[in-house]
Amino acid sequence: MPLQKMFPIPLKPGTQAEVEAIVREFAPKGPQQEEGTLSFRVYRDPARPDYLLFVEHFADQAAYDQHTGSAVYKELIAGKFADLIVEFVEIDLELVVGI
């Protein structure tokens, strides 16, 4: 079963557009190139500014470790993105029902 993660991320006030630009730059350079990244989705809540929800699926823990250990992750997510968030929240998910 794939490794499933969710990251509800509150952003520093007024940074929504800047953060979204970083995520758009990161997706094709990082997750899209990673064989073990099965899906990488980032959502905004139109009713809640300065907030993003990441939902990601990886083949296994090794694939996630490779994802977070990549040079582009370190530059864009652990670097630029991290400076613009209030809190980093990581939730591991276990599927109960899927249709």
The per-residue pLDDT for range 45-54, each reduced to its tens digit, is 999 999 999 9
Geometric angle at alpha carbon 46, from 32 and 55, rounded to 5°? 30
Mean pLDDT over all residues of the chain? 96
Tell me, yes or no, if the pTM score tops 0.85: yes
For the chain, strand residue ranges (E) read 3-10, 37-45, 48-58, 91-93
